[in-house]
Amino acid sequence: MTTDLNTLATALYVKIDDAVKASPDLAPWRPKVGISPTLSDAELVTLTVMSALLGFASERRWMRYAHAELRGMFPYLPGQSGYGKRLRKSYGLVLNMIRILAADTSLWNDDVWVIDSTPVECGRSRETARRSALAGWAEYGYCASHSRYFWGLRLHLLCALGGLPVAFALTGVKAGERDTLLGMLDHAPRS
């Protein structure tokens, strides 16, 4: 563990903890009476952001690294399955915290943002389209860049020119990019 990593983790934790305390409605719902989590929401989001910054794509490898190298920074580190469950239940909090952290960078104030979309194929056979739980969402459509028809969804990503993700949306295949962009900007939390 380096001093720089310790400083980064401390700065991240303080920023995230202040934001969570300022907006308690972002935290996942918990009953008022019961067992409180051993790992706080701010620590969970700090671990998540650090895993992305350090380039870990696998939760298993990240938790193995955290148990070996970050033990002194966090009083409690869950196992890989516990971390994954908490992370999935806190996805709204994580998304909002990442947006708050991104708004603090110089890239956020770029004059130009770009949007692009890519197909997310959900199945190939007619039987899959009929039986899938995505049958109400997914549609048949054409992707000009791949020169093929597909059944699925379309992922739209709004980024600053430096590559900083600003917003994303998952829509039906036939949704227009302009309408999707306007919807993404209308529903994005103000920073």
Concatenated DSSP letters for 110-157? -S-EEEEEEEEEEESSHHHHHH-TTTTT-EEEEETTTTEEEEEEEEEE
| Residue 176 pLDDT > 80 | yes
Q: What is the mean pLDDT of residues 5-18?
A: 91
- Asked if residues 121 and 143 have their Cβ atoms less than 8 Å apart, the reply is no
Of all residues in the chain, the percent with pLDDT exceeding 90 is: 37
If you average pLDDT over residues 74-96, what whole number do you get?
90
Among the listed residues 63, 90, 91, the one whose alpha carbon sits nearest the alpha carbon of residue 77 = 63
pTM above 0.85, yes or no: no
Of 37-46, 70-79, 137-146, the poorest mean pLDDT is in 137-146
Indicate whether 1 pLDDT > 50.
no
Average confidence (pLDDT) over 100-126: 86
Answer for the pair 77, 70: CB distance below 8 angstroms, yes or no: yes
**Reported confidence tier of residue 13, pLDDT bands at 50, 70, 90:** very high
Strands 148-160 and 165-172: antiparallel
Contacts 24+ apart (CB under 8 A), 54-58: none
Model confidence band, residue 50 (pLDDT cutoffs 50, 70, 90): very high
Q: What is the pLDDT of residues 123-169, one digit of tens each?
A: 878 888 788 888 778 888 888 888 888 889 999 999 888 888 888 89
Give the whole-angstrom CA distance, residue 155 versus residue 73: 36
What's the rounded mean pLDDT across residues 72-86? Answer: 91
Mean pLDDT, residues 7-12 taken together: 90
Whether 118 and 155 have beta carbons less than 8 Å apart is answered as yes
pLDDT in tens, 16-41: 999 999 988 888 888 888 888 888 99
Helix axes 41-53, 80-89, angle to 10 degrees: 110
Band (pLDDT 50/70/90 cuts) for residue 56 is: very high
